[in-house]
Amino acid sequence: MALRSRVFPSSPPLLRQRDQSILLFPNYAAGPTSFPDAASTALLASTVYRHAGLRDVWHWFPEAEKIWRELFGRGILIPTSDVD
């Protein structure tokens, strides 16, 4: 994914071990087998939207749209946890 290579140009080992078809960033603190992290992914996408609006730079906007669809495409935030 182009946005990942821009944010992580050196491609950290944990990113290389993940399934690249998943558009969500992994929870690096927990290790390579951890869950996809919706919060950090949403934060990164929101900075792309903000930058596009403020600076009229739309280069990364399509990537942010893909991430938004991955997170909210089913009408609910994915992935989520049900912790009782």
- For 24-72, the pLDDT digits (tens) are 877 776 666 677 788 888 888 899 999 999 999 899 899 899 888 888 8
Residue predicted with more confidence, 5 or 42: 42
pLDDT at 19 over 80: no
Whole-angstrom distance, CA of residue 50 vs CA of residue 76:
22
Q: What is the pTM of this model?
A: 0.58
Q: Among candidates 70, 73, 62, 65, which has minimal Cα distance to 20?
A: 70
